Structure 1
Amino acid sequence: MSPAYPSLFFLCFLCLFSAIKSDELQVLLDIKTALQKSNTNVFNSWDARNPICKFPGITCDARNSVKEIELSNQNLTGALPLKSICQLPSLDRLSLGFNSLYGTITNDLNSCTKLQYLDLGNNFFTGPFPDISSLSQLQHLYLNQSGFGGAFPWKSLTNLTNLVTVSVGDNQFDPTPFPAELLSLKNLSWLYLANCSIQGTIPESIGDLTELVNLELSDNNLSGEIPWQISKLEKLWQLELYNNSLTGRLPVGLRNLTNLENFDASMNYLEGDLSELRFLTNLVSIQLYENELSGEVPAEFGEFKKLVNLSLYTNKLTGTLPSTLGSWANFDFIDVSENNLTGPIPPDMCKKGTMRGLLMLQNNLTGEIPATYANCVTLERFRVSKNSLSGTVPGGIWGLPNVNIIDIQMNQFEGPMTADIGKAKALGQLFIGNNRLSGEVPEELSQATSLVSIQLNDNQFAGNIPEKIGDLKQLSSLHLEKNMFSGQIPDSLGSCTSLSDLNMADNSLSGAIPSSLGDLPTLNSLNISGNRLSGQIPDSLSSLKLSLLDLSDNRLTGRIPQSLSIEAYNGSFAGNPGLCSETIGSFRRCSPKSGVSSSVRTIILCFAVGSLVLLLAIAGYMHLKKKEKDHERSLKEESWDVKSFHVLTFSEDDILDSIKQENLIGKGGSGNVYKVALANGKELAVKHIWNTDSSSRKRSISTAPILGKRGQKSKEFDAEVQTLSSIRHVNVVKLYCSITSEDSSLLVYEYLPNGSLWDRLHTSQKMELDWQTRYEIALGAAKGLEYLHHGCDRPVIHRDVKSSNILLDEFFKPRIADFGLAKIVQANGGKDSTHVIAGTHGYIAPEYGYTYKVNEKSDVYSFGVVLMELISGKRPIEPEYGDNRDIVDWVSSKLKNKESVLSIVDSRIPESFKEDAIKVLRIAILCTARVAAMRPTMRSVVQMLEDAEPCKLVSIVVSKEAANKRKDPEMFNQDP
């Protein structure tokens, strides 16, 4: 070979190499172009001036060819140019998880034949995932929560014998039995198949996957017993089987899994004892709640050196808890509620000072609260209600700095609440009712400013109610009934502007009813019966919209205000012989004082007052007009930012010109609502919300009466815009645009002329709704909620479903509205939780007070209450239900026989439709099951409502026996 040939060959190689580098650069630039709308800096240096191996997120091999693309968690958005990506000849790792990528994944993926690692999880792709049988070198496959649906190509995995990781859970795949193709992949160590529509039984051959370290099959439709062959997986570190329909006992041989640290088989139908777990000394977390397990908690649990989490609630466990339980490791959480456990509370679970939750309610525990917990400053939840505990509460318990709930109600505790309560700065709920506590409530209670709910009822507290209780600005529920309180009702209660439920019945309170109670904008229930209150009923109470009012058995005198003399408040004033009324027949008629001189004085007084009122009205009118002009001029001076979510046929000025007093149609906690009539005849509704930052406000405070309460913008506004701007559904209210300034914000909606369902059912302007209309409202509202829960990229939890938030158009078609409390479920799969109880009294699901967890099933409960309203025509809270009872309790008490069930149905519904109403009532009862897991999804609710369409005559009578078959034994005996 001549010397020229090697040089020529080398030159050709360089040309080829240069061409390859040029091609790879172009591929990377194609990726940058496709994802150019991403909110990220990662592509800033991706250009031809820099070597591709220096690009952020790119790793090259020894030949400087792209080997890895690592762009997970980079806020990427757009559709993947897979055809280009798979032209990278050396690419063996493609990691794009935790972004906002969308579109479909095509068969072009099969060209990436050298891939060993593929992560597309936690994105927003659509459509099915393609056959990937050509990716024979693939070892790790991550597709969890990526948005894929349809039939998954399980067969294509058969050839991928190198697979070590298969993580494809949290996708809406077509239902399928356990994929047999996976059982041939003997190298699998990580198998995540949670929430991907797998049904049937767990195959016995699962035991052949002996390399498994992690096996997660939760949130599926698996049934049958856990196969004993699972005990052959001796390398298992984690086993997750929760929320299926598994039955039988924990399999014999489970004790062989000595490497197991995390075991969760909660929310199944497992029975038998826990003896197989006695030998698993490495367990860190044991989660077996909501099963039918029995027997004792093994004494060996008290010697587990790593155990930090034990959740066994809602089973049938008996016996005592090991005294040394939780005393070894950094113990975190115990929940053994709703069992039949006896004996004392283990004293040393907070020995390491790390415990956050102690929940043991509804057992038969005895003894005192161990004094050790008074020093457990990490505790966030302390719940031991409904036991037989006694003694005094250690003083430090009251003042734990991080505790957000103290629940000791329904025990036999004695002694005082100490002044330590003022140190409980995080305390949101204080439940200590039905004990023998005594003494005065310390003034320091008013320093626990995070309190939302206080229940001190049925104790022996005496003395005055703390005068500064009005400092509790977040307080929504206050129960002081059946104690020995004396003195006056504090006038400062009028400052508790979030208060919705107030009960001070059966004490020895005296003096007048404070007129300030009429200033409570959200008060829904007021019971101050059975006291020694005197004087007149304040006219200010007339402004309240109460579901329950009880002023009976006091010493009140004078005229019952006309606006309170309505049928809904029958019995509310009994036992006050000094009262009179013009309209209530059971009271004496009010009569004017006799005598000519008295009449003359009355006329003169009326004339003087009338003149003064007239002068004040004129002055007020002139002042109001001036404020309106100032306000309108101020609005026009603002700099506004318009974000449209639909095609708009109006301008910013059209909206701003209409924000005036004469267009005001409603007021709410988050802002005022105005009706806007456009020149083209179209009508809109505009909600005006103030921004939170007071330092940025430019307007004079004199505009507040027109614009509503300030300081309420950010959370409600952000939640409503974030939720509604992305939603397109016929049964969800349409948000046209948002108009924001530095000082306030406007939300522009479609206008619904028939108001809310609450108005149509319950107010003085209520109108007859035939059964067909009621049914269509129920079905439409259910479809709206179904879309929120199942039709969005991420589930949207409304958190305040009620009849007043279901609006009706001109054809009575319903729209779900008011998303001020809505939260979108986070992309990591965790549900939002809050320390403030969101929602409205009468609609709130029982788990709000139990776990603080807010999820879709809480919306389902509230919708069940709405169904009961539609069927019965009654409000969620009515005096006839009794103290601390609501419509769910009332309906439950009627489920005795067919005649009793039929009496639930609104008398305005014709006899021919009552059987149809009973079919819907059955759905309402399912929706309001006490245990959240037993409630149907909204998708199932829609299906059941469609099956219950009028004229499909199927008579259904709900009984206690039927409810018991739903594994919900407390459905008809719910506690208040």
Structure 2
Amino acid sequence: MASATIFRLVFYFLSFLCLLSVAFSDDLQTLLSIKTAFQDSNTRIFDSWEPNAPHCSFSGITCDSSGFVKEIELSHQNLTGLLPLSSFCQLKSLEKLSLGFNYLHGLVTEDLNKCFSLKYLDLGNNFFSGSFPDISSINGLVSLYANCSGFSGTFPWNSLRNMTYLQVLSIGDNPFDRTQFPQVILNLTKLNWLYLSNCSIEGNIPDEIGNLVELIDLELSENYLIGEIPKTITKLTKLWQLELYSNQLTGELPPGFGNLTNLELFDASDNHLHGNLSEIRFLIKLKSLQLFQNQFSGELPPELGDFKYLVNLSLYTNKLTGSLPQKLGSWADFIFIDVSENFFTGPIPPDMCKKGTMKKLLMLQNNFTGEIPDTYANCTTLIRFRVSKNRLSGQVPSGIWGLPNAELIDVAENDLEGPVTSDIGKAKSLGQLLLAYNRLNGELPFEISKSSSLVSIDLSFNNFSGKIPEEIGELKQLTSLQIQGNAFSGSIPDSLGSCHSINDVNMAKNMLSGSIPSSLGSLPALNFLNLSRNQLSGPIPGTLSSLRLNLLDLSENRLTGSIPDSLLTEANNGSFTGNLGLCSEKIRGFRRCSPQSGASGHLRTVLVCLAFATIALLASLLAFCYLKKKRQNIGERSLKEDSWDLKPFHVLTFTEDDILDSIKRENLIGKGGSGNVYRVVVGNGKELAVKHIWHTDDRRKIGSSTPILNKRGTKCKEFDAEVQTLSSIRHVNVVKLYCSISSEDSSLLVYEYMPNGSLWDRLHTCNKLQLDWETRYEIALGAAKGLEYLHHGYDRPVIHRDVKSSNILLDEELKPRIADFGLAKIVQANSMKESTQIIAGTHGYIAPEYAYTNKVNEKSDLYSFGVVLMELVTGKRPIEPEFGEHKDIVDWVCGNLKTRESIVRMVDPTIPEVYRDNAIKVLKIAIHCTARLPAGRPTMRTVVQMLEDAQPCELIRIIVSKDGGDKQ
């Protein structure tokens, strides 16, 4: 009997081991199937997931004591693709599934209900679509994160009814259908983290919110909440963070609000709250207090000056009065203050930068008095210093002019005096210097030229004197120079003509003398020029005629000579009055010009110069005509006499002669880097675009009209590349190549004509259209699909290598076509997807890896396409003066990802507000595409999926941290 019992025990034990082995094998196979589902992801997390390795050693996997998979941690891993829920839920012991901050898309199905054992689920910060599924079967959940993931429709609130263990519920930043505050939440008394911001909750905050006494974090911002903050909220004494901003709440802070003594972060900005802030005095642990854009009144509690942890204070646009506590910000590593647009009085607290950490001091439009404290002269961390529209007096501490990180110094509209000191040369980051309407005096130091980031200078209506420094021409980023209403003397610096970005110059009402520099006529961006009420003399430079000025005012000077006819526009009426020496044949009130008028003393010199100029012009014309005739002869010989080889790639409805006869000057519509482009209309009325490429070297012999023929040279290689690529492509979003026509000396590419030009034309030139957001989105998606086809539609991917808005053409319905494959390259089969080493591309679109590898691959196209997306969202060019020296649109966008407000301000203002959040999501995709490291960029296939999930009706808001609510 004993031996039989032992035998049975051994048998059962071996059977149990066998079952365990099978179970372990099941878990291993399930994990390998999950790896397969994410095979397109750019991640190293799966490198250890090998069939012969123990599955409990896989990266991101934690097993229980029995060897079954208990936890999967795959957040922040660049995962792409659909969510393989059926595989995940086969892991019967799975308690934690963390997939947040990835690029997962598509629907989350009801299969999620099969993950019965889950206690922790994180699907947040992805790109899903459709509704969030019913999860009532997972009633053991403790933490649920599904925020910022693209879910829409109605959230299944009732599925939370039996989740009595739930401690974390984070489903904000999803465009759910509008709903009243869900009552089911009020019974989840173990909740300590409730994030419901920006998910379309409306109505009042219910009194029962006070039942959730375990709450540490309560965030209800950016919803449609109305009414007062309920008094019962004061029961939530464990609260660490309370976010109520951007609603329509009314009333006062409830009595007893000071009971929330553990509160560190409080933001109720952008509501309709009123009353005083006396309850705040008890919240001694506050680190950030943001109540801007409300109607609070009364004085700040003096206790605020003793808060030991306060680092952010934003109270702008209220009705607050009295003085600020003088110890304010002196205890902690204070960062930020914005109390603008109130009625504060008294002095500026002197010690807010005592710890050397302050970044922004914004106190404009109040009634502050006294001097600017000397302590801020040493605050080298300051980025923005704005104290304009107050009653400040005395001198500006000299060190403030030279703050090395300051991007904006604004002390305008006060009663300040004294000079701008030479310290200004140390302000290397300074973009705006706003000093108007003070009593500042002295000469403008030449060291201002060393502030090379300056974009805007406004010194107007002060007492500055002396000469304008000649070195001002070194400010290459300068777009606006306002110095009117001072006592500047001497001549206008000729070097100002080197400021090619400048569009607004106002030097009116000074004592400037001498002539107007002709160099001003070389400023391509100049729109406004006001030199009135000075002592300028001499003639009006003819170079001003080349400018496209919206405003010109030269009145009240001592100018002489004739007024150029090209400046006699209706907009310039009155621009020349008060100059007794001027004459005109067309403007009433001016004397008629005689042969001796103007610079009569120099008439002989002018006539001699004119004679020589005429002779030179005639000689040039004769030479030009000779060269032109020679080139025409070559062109006619090449097109009409050479032997041509036509290769069709589609069924043609035109002949070779139809094309050859149409290559003439009157049909020329563009000149590109690889050849001229002609618009051709063939016999049946069909419009075609024809690119004519000479097989020549880029060099030309001086004085020769004959190209240096290089039969298999640069142009021929470009032609071969374009033909090789385009002839095999069949996609609705890639320009169609009908045929090629080649001779020994040149070649023609015949492709479909795009009547609406390029995306660049429609965004940035005088031919631009007011593209609505839906159209921009469709252009983005169509162009992405075209590039996806190039990257993924072949056995070997096609790299375009010059993706830009001017190479995205638009048909009659504004549908996009990817064009200009002169730089395209098919990745060779033996290259192991290595990159090419030919320098190619366009400045502003080129990926940063060029700088250290001189190589391109598919990820380089992704970067360039990200720049195009930024153009569509912002309306900006890739390179703009406002971005700063050596910076482009990518730098500018990344530099503005600080606050919600700064992100919204980047969106093209012509895009309606209802689509702003949609545009921001596309901007988020652009940011992914322009990751500095190529490995951090998604594939083009993923980009298409992300854009498809970002249809205008389904977009969600980008998550940003609110950095003090700076709106100034």
Counterpart in the other structure of 1:215 = 218
> Is the contact between residue 273 and residue 295 of structure 1 (CA under 8 Å) also seen in structure 2?
yes
Counterpart in the other structure of 1:714 = none
Counterpart in the other structure of 1:505 = 508
Q: 1:121, 1:374 → 2: CA distance?
A: 45
Counterpart in the other structure of 1:615 = 619
Q: Structure 1's 517 and 599: CA in aligned 2 closer, same or farther, altered over 3 A?
A: closer
Q: 1:462, 1:117 → 2: CA distance?
A: 70
Candidates 815, 822, 835, aligned match of 2:870: 822
Equivalent position SS for 2:33: helix
Deviates more, 1:176-185 or 1:751-760: 751-760
Candidates 419, 422, 438, aligned match of 1:419: 422
- Alpha-carbon deviation of 1:851? 9.7
- Which AA in structure 1 matches 2:225? L
Equivalent position SS for 2:303: helix
- Alpha-carbon deviation of 1:162? 0.8
Q: Structure 1's 860 and 504: CA in aligned 2 closer, same or farther, altered over 3 A?
A: same
- Alpha-carbon deviation of 1:331? 0.8
- Alpha-carbon deviation of 1:617? 4.7
Task: Show CA shifts across 1:803-822 (max 9, x none).
Answer: xxxx998799999x998793
Q: 1:141, 1:57 → 2: CA distance?
A: 19
Task: Show CA shifts across 1:897-930 (max 9, x none).
Answer: xxxxxxxxxxxxxxxxxxxxxxxxxxxxxxxxxx
- Alpha-carbon deviation of 1:282? 0.8
Q: 2:320, 2:886 → 1: CA distance?
A: 33
> Is the contact between residue 673 and residue 685 of structure 1 (CA under 8 Å) also seen in structure 2?
no
- Alpha-carbon deviation of 1:602? 8.8
Counterpart in the other structure of 1:882 = none
Candidates 849, 856, 862, aligned match of 2:904: 856
Q: 2:782, 2:174 → 1: CA distance?
A: 13
Q: Structure 1's 859 and 419: CA in aligned 2 closer, same or farther, altered over 3 A?
A: same
Task: Tell me how large the CA RMSD over aligned residues is.
Answer: 4.6
Q: 2:167, 2:782 → 1: CA distance?
A: 33
- Which AA in structure 2 matches 1:86? C
Alignment partner of 1:470 is 2:468: no
Task: Show CA shifts across 1:474-509 (max 9, x none).
Answer: 111111111111111111111112112111111111
- Which AA in structure 2 matches 1:856? V
Candidates 554, 566, 569, aligned match of 1:551: 554
Candidates 243, 247, 250, aligned match of 1:247: 250
Counterpart in the other structure of 1:956 = none
Q: 2:900, 2:119 → 1: CA distance?
A: 43
> Is the contact between residue 837 and residue 852 of structure 1 (CA under 8 Å) also seen in structure 2?
no
Q: 2:138, 2:558 → 1: CA distance?
A: 85
Counterpart in the other structure of 2:590 = 587
Alignment partner of 1:92 is 2:99: no
Task: Show CA shifts across 1:13-41 (max 9, x none).
Answer: 23322222222222212211111111111
Q: Structure 1's 377 and 365: CA in aligned 2 closer, same or farther, altered over 3 A?
A: same
Candidates 171, 174, 190, aligned match of 1:168: 171
> Is the contact between residue 231 and residue 257 of structure 1 (CA under 8 Å) also seen in structure 2?
yes
Q: Structure 1's 381 and 607: CA in aligned 2 closer, same or farther, altered over 3 A?
A: closer
Q: 1:626, 1:13 → 2: CA distance?
A: 95
Counterpart in the other structure of 1:294 = 297
Q: 1:308, 1:575 → 2: CA distance?
A: 57
Q: 1:514, 1:10 → 2: CA distance?
A: 100
Q: 2:252, 2:110 → 1: CA distance?
A: 45
Q: Structure 1's 838 and 471: CA in aligned 2 closer, same or farther, altered over 3 A?
A: closer
Within 5 A, what are the aligned runs for 1:246-265?
246-265=249-268
Candidates 494, 499, 510, aligned match of 1:496: 499
Counterpart in the other structure of 1:447 = 450
- Alpha-carbon deviation of 1:857? 5.4
Number of equivalent positions: 744
- Alpha-carbon deviation of 1:556? 1.8
Q: 2:331, 2:511 → 1: CA distance?
A: 50
Q: 1:818, 1:673 → 2: CA distance?
A: 27
Task: Show CA shifts across 1:805-847 (max 9, x none).
Answer: xx998799999x9987937999xxxxxxx976999xxxxxxxx
> Is the contact between residue 171 and residue 195 of structure 1 (CA under 8 Å) also seen in structure 2?
yes
> Is the contact between residue 756 and residue 808 of structure 1 (CA under 8 Å) also seen in structure 2?
no
Alignment partner of 1:285 is 2:288: yes
Equivalent position SS for 1:295: strand
Counterpart in the other structure of 2:143 = 140
Q: Structure 1's 554 and 402: CA in aligned 2 closer, same or farther, altered over 3 A?
A: same
Q: 1:755, 1:563 → 2: CA distance?
A: 33
Using the size of structure 2 for normalisation, the TM-score is 0.70
Q: Structure 1's 818 and 862: CA in aligned 2 closer, same or farther, altered over 3 A?
A: farther
- Which AA in structure 1 matches 2:541? P
Q: 1:504, 1:573 → 2: CA distance?
A: 15
Alignment partner of 1:124 is 2:172: no
Using the size of structure 1 for normalisation, the TM-score is 0.69
Task: Show CA shifts across 1:653-710 (max 9, x none).
Answer: x9xxx9x99957699xxx9999664788657899xxxxxxxxxxx999x9xxxxxxxx
Candidates 382, 393, 396, aligned match of 2:385: 382
Within 5 A, what are the aligned runs for 1:916-927?
none
- Which AA in structure 1 matches 2:500? T
Q: Structure 1's 810 and 527: CA in aligned 2 closer, same or farther, altered over 3 A?
A: farther
Counterpart in the other structure of 1:479 = 482
Counterpart in the other structure of 1:115 = 118
Task: Show CA shifts across 1:563-590 (max 9, x none).
Answer: 2222222222222232233443443443
> Is the contact between residue 675 and residue 751 of structure 1 (CA under 8 Å) also seen in structure 2?
no
- Alpha-carbon deviation of 1:787? 8.3
> Is the contact between residue 453 and residue 885 of structure 2 (CA under 8 Å) also seen in structure 1?
no
Equivalent position SS for 2:328: coil
Q: 1:158, 1:323 → 2: CA distance?
A: 51
Equivalent position SS for 2:449: helix
Task: Show CA shifts across 1:583-636 (max 9, x none).
Answer: 434434434359xxx9999988755422201323555789999999xxxxxxxx
Task: Show CA shifts across 1:433-480 (max 9, x none).
Answer: 100000000011111111111111110000011111111111111111
- Which AA in structure 2 matches 1:616? S
Equivalent position SS for 1:289: coil
Q: Structure 1's 196 and 863: CA in aligned 2 closer, same or farther, altered over 3 A?
A: closer
Q: 1:68, 1:114 → 2: CA distance?
A: 11
Q: 1:623, 1:383 → 2: CA distance?
A: 62
Counterpart in the other structure of 1:781 = 772
Equivalent position SS for 2:66: coil
> Is the contact between residue 40 and residue 74 of structure 1 (CA under 8 Å) also seen in structure 2?
yes
Equivalent position SS for 1:4: helix
Within 5 A, what are the aligned runs for 1:594-605?
none
> Is the contact between residue 69 and residue 94 of structure 1 (CA under 8 Å) also seen in structure 2?
yes
- Alpha-carbon deviation of 1:281? 0.7
Counterpart in the other structure of 1:355 = 358
Which ranges in structure 2 are unaligned for 5 or more consecutive residues?
633-652, 654-658, 692-697, 703-732, 737-751, 785-808, 818-864, 875-881, 888-895, 914-950, 954-967
> Is the contact between residue 873 and residue 908 of structure 2 (CA under 8 Å) also seen in structure 1?
no
Alignment partner of 1:461 is 2:464: yes
- Alpha-carbon deviation of 1:42? 1.4
Q: Structure 1's 40 and 856: CA in aligned 2 closer, same or farther, altered over 3 A?
A: same
- Which AA in structure 2 matches 1:458? F
Q: 1:434, 1:541 → 2: CA distance?
A: 30
| Identical columns (%) | 56
Counterpart in the other structure of 1:185 = 188
- Alpha-carbon deviation of 1:412? 0.2
Q: 1:362, 1:294 → 2: CA distance?
A: 16
Q: 2:675, 2:392 → 1: CA distance?
A: 51
Q: 1:571, 1:522 → 2: CA distance?
A: 23
Equivalent position SS for 1:150: coil
- Alpha-carbon deviation of 1:792? 14
Q: Structure 1's 35 and 610: CA in aligned 2 closer, same or farther, altered over 3 A?
A: same
Alignment partner of 1:578 is 2:581: yes
Which ranges in structure 1 are unaligned for 5 or more consecutive residues?
629-648, 687-697, 703-733, 738-747, 767-776, 794-806, 827-833, 840-847, 866-937, 941-974
- Alpha-carbon deviation of 1:158? 1.1
Q: 1:160, 1:522 → 2: CA distance?
A: 64
Q: Structure 1's 78 and 255: CA in aligned 2 closer, same or farther, altered over 3 A?
A: same
- Which AA in structure 2 matches 1:611? I
Equivalent position SS for 2:45: coil
Alignment partner of 1:335 is 2:383: no
Q: Structure 1's 605 and 503: CA in aligned 2 closer, same or farther, altered over 3 A?
A: closer
Q: 1:627, 1:501 → 2: CA distance?
A: 44
